[in-house]
Structure 1
Amino acid sequence: MSLFEKIVKREEKISLVGLGYVGMPIAVSFAQKVDVIGFDVNKHKIEQYKSGFDPTNEIGDEAIKNTTVEFTYDEAKLREAKFHIVAVPTPIHKDKTPDLSPLQSASRVVGRNLTKGSIVVFESTVYPGVTEDICIPILEQESGFQCGVDFKVGYSPERINPGDKLHRLETIVKVVAGIDEESLDIIAKVYELVVQAGVHRAESIKVAEAAKVIENSQRDINIAFMNELSIIFNKMGIDTKAVLAAAGTKWNFMKFTPGLVGGHCIGVDPYYLTYKAEELGYHSQIILSGRRINDEMGKYIAEITVKKMIQANKHIKGAKAAVLGFTFKENCPDSRNTKVIDIIRELQNYGVQTVVVDPVADVEEVKSEYGMSLCSIDQIGEVDAIILAVAHDKFITLELESLKKLYKTGRPDIYNEVAATLSNDFVSSQCVLIDVKGIFSSKQAKDMNYVYWRL
């Protein structure tokens, strides 16, 4: 009887190592079909799952409460599983080189608890060669087993899009690869249990690793092109959104938009590929060029904000700006590698005070990672500028008229009698609104005498 058959008959278990935005949804999905152990070294996170709370907001509290996943931070429980899926982050260091320490640590944990006949599948995004050159030696050293004889290894890159309720694990084709045909067949069949869209069997682990890393690199480059166009059009006095709407009427025009590129995937993965290329003596031209553009967008938006504040006759030093949204993308609590922080830091360099509102963000994560406290939109008052940085659903419903109440010049009642008698046109003309995501109507904002700019 094959390992796949034993898993289906619940004679063997699957383990998920790393229960973040990727690993947790995978664990819950598999638990609907087979027995699953969910392991994470973060005890607080495990306790949250056990209490029925989903801190990632990926599948919701109800799904967590009803799942049969056995959540644990006891690594010894991994010995009860024969099919291990490793889904841990692969960040970068400050010098933009790969930080493989989470993956190496997870490999050591799995290796220490590996049993003969097991299969280990890695999902973390890496450059081609990491699974075979780095992970397998660690598994062998920790377990004392030989890969290909005592255990097998595979790779299946994660494609879950945090915050996306449409494109889920079940609806995205899964790329799978194995160290040999036997492992490939078992890995493919296991994932087919939950992936309705089917699987693509890559011809090697390195091919699968390369496929994943170029997916995000391609998107990164396309967004960088949009960002560069936005910079150019801004100098020309042309509205980028209007240009893209016109160009988008052609059937083969790719509909990307300018924006901040952060997070733990698109803003990170290209550096993995270029790192390996450098090792082989090739210096990336297109990929790194795109990365430079995207990495500088936060600073660019801050500079535009300052220029618009000067245009509105604001004194920059000591001015106050409200930033709406802090996470790396809309409707997702994850603030890892958010580029909104670049806007905030650059504004602070100019002497501008900032208050940040984000009803979706993980408050504790923001505090521990960035040393920042968030506030509610009701606590904002007397600001000189508002920057709508992330298009959370709760922000999309905001109205331009209601935003005026948050500005200094939008509340003449707090000024002296002379200020109170000023016309509405003068009052509203001082409202600087930086609409990074372009959710408001440019015409309406300008008709209401906002000093308005969008990326």
Structure 2
Amino acid sequence: MNLYENIVNREEKISLIGLGYVGMPIAVAFAKKADVIGFDVNKQKTELYKSGIDPTKEVGNEVIKNTTVDFTSDEARLREAKFHIVAVPTPVKDDHTPDLTPVESASRTLGKNLTKGSIVVFESTVYPGVTEDICVPILEKESGLKCGVDFKVGYSPERINPGDKVHRLETIIKVVSGQDEETLDIIARVYELVVDAGVYKAASIKVAEAAKVIENSQRDINIAFMNELSIIFNKMEIDTKAVLEAAGTKWNFLNFSPGLVGGHCIGVDPYYLTYKAEQMGYHSQIILSGRKINDDMGKYIAESTVKKMIKANKQINGAKVAIFGITFKENTPDVRNTKVVDVIKELEEYGVDIKVVDPAADKEDLWREYRIKLCEIEDIKGMDAVIFAVPHDEFKAIQLENVKMMFGTTGYVNSEVMNEVAATSEFDIDIDRKDCVLMDIKGMFNRKEAEDTGFVYWRL
């Protein structure tokens, strides 16, 4: 029997190295079909999983409580597995060059515990060549084994979209690759256990690495185009969202919208490709231009906020601004590389006092990464401007009248309570105020309704 059959018969185990937003859902999915060891160097994280808590909110506490994944931070347990999946982050440094520290460290840890007959599959996003040129030598050095003889490697780029309940591991075609045909076949069959959409066998490991890195580069460029259009149309006093809705009636118009581009993928992956291109003597034109536009959007939004506040006769130094949402995208606790922080830093340069509300964000990560504390929505009162930066589902229930109250001394009151007491004098709700600045980054509200309600309204 080969390794695939041994896994199906539960005679061999699968290990997941890295239990974050990508690795943990993969471990849980495989645990329905095989014996799985879930390893992470963060003992606090593995203890949370053991206690039935899902800090990523990707699968939920109930699923974690019932999964058979054997969570551990003991690296020696990796010796029990023969099929290893490495799913650790691949960030960039401050100078936008690849930071391969996590994947190199994971390779060292796995190498120390690698046994003969194993297959190692990397899922981390990298530039073409990292698996074979950087990771394999580390595995060989630490294990004393020979790649291609004692163990085999492959690459299968992760495509999980954090916070997305529709496009999941099971429903997205999985690209797989292996160093030889036999390895490729085993890797494909193993992933077919959990991927209902099926697998696509890439021609080589480098092809699979390249395919992944261009997926997010393509999205980054398209969003950069939308952001540039937004800048242009705002100067023309044309509503960008209205333009895109009109253009979107054509069958082949691509459905992208302007916004802040952060997170661990779209805002990072293009730099991996351009870094490798520079090494080969080619300086990127389009990719880096798109990156610059997207990286500058936080500053642009902050400056636009200040201009609208001046238009509303606000004193900028000492002004109070509430920001709703600080995660890198909606409906996820993930704050890694969030570009909302760029908006905050720029506004603070003007002497603005910032309050941040986000019921989804991971408070500990937010404090550790950015030294930012969250406020409760009830604390938002006496504001000079309100910025809706991330369209969490929780925020979509907020009505324009609720927002208006955030500018008064009473502060936010939900619609149900407000309707009950609107006739009393207990609440400060001056609907006729014309100095309330509402910055709606993702177009959550209706422009006409916002302007009719008396807001100084702006959106990308």
Q: TM-score, normalised by structure 2?
A: 0.95
What displacement does 1:409 show? Answer: 7.9
Q: Secondary structure at the match of 1:383?
A: coil
Cα distance per residue 1:353-385 (max 9 Å; x no partner) = 100000000000001110110011111111100
2:442 is the counterpart of 1:437? yes
What is the match of residue 421 of structure 2? none
Distance across 1 between alignment mates of 2:430 and 2:189: 67
Cα distance per residue 1:187-242 (max 9 Å; x no partner) = 00000000000000001000000000000000000000000000000000000000
What is the match of residue 455 of structure 2? 450
Cα distance per residue 1:319-346 (max 9 Å; x no partner) = 0100000000000000000000000000
User: What are the equivalent positions in structure 2 for 1:119-158 lying under 5 Å apart?
Assistant: 119-158=119-158
Which consecutive unaligned segments of at least 5 residues does structure 2 have? Answer: 412-425
Q: Secondary structure at the match of 1:197?
A: coil
Asked if the contact 2:381/2:409 (under 8 Å) is kept, the reply is: no
Distance across 2 between alignment mates of 1:51 and 1:140: 36
2:60 is the counterpart of 1:60? yes
Q: Secondary structure at the match of 1:185?
A: helix
**What letter matches 1:390 in structure 2?**
V
- Corresponding residue pairs, total: 445
2:225 is the counterpart of 1:225? yes
Distance across 1 between alignment mates of 2:10 and 2:429: 74
Asked if the contact 2:404/2:429 (under 8 Å) is kept, the reply is: no
What is the match of residue 348 of structure 1? 348
What displacement does 1:38 show? Answer: 0.1
Cα distance per residue 1:27-85 (max 9 Å; x no partner) = 00000000000000000000000000000000000000000000000000000000000
Distance across 1 between alignment mates of 2:75 and 2:35: 17
Cα distance per residue 1:153-186 (max 9 Å; x no partner) = 0000000000000000000000000011110000
Distance across 2 between alignment mates of 1:32 and 1:255: 36
Change (3 A) 1:238 1:133: same
What displacement does 1:405 show? Answer: 1.1
Cα distance per residue 1:296-320 (max 9 Å; x no partner) = 0000000000000000000000001
Asked if the contact 1:384/1:408 (under 8 Å) is kept, the reply is: no
Asked if the contact 1:53/1:60 (under 8 Å) is kept, the reply is: yes
User: What are the equivalent positions in structure 2 for 1:33-432 lying under 5 Å apart?
Assistant: 33-408=33-408, 424=430, 427-432=432-437
Q: TM-score, normalised by structure 1?
A: 0.97
**What letter matches 1:96 in structure 2?**
H
**What letter matches 1:447 in structure 2?**
D
What displacement does 1:404 show? Answer: 1.1
Change (3 A) 1:423 1:140: closer
Asked if the contact 2:438/2:456 (under 8 Å) is kept, the reply is: yes
Asked if the contact 2:175/2:199 (under 8 Å) is kept, the reply is: yes
Q: Secondary structure at the match of 1:146?
A: coil
Distance across 1 between alignment mates of 2:71 and 2:429: 62
Asked if the contact 1:409/1:430 (under 8 Å) is kept, the reply is: no
Which consecutive unaligned segments of at least 5 residues does structure 1 have? Answer: 412-419
**What is the percentage of aligned positions where both structures have the same residue?**
73
What displacement does 1:410 show? Answer: 8.3
Asked if the contact 1:409/1:428 (under 8 Å) is kept, the reply is: no
**What letter matches 1:3 in structure 2?**
L
What displacement does 1:388 show? Answer: 0.2
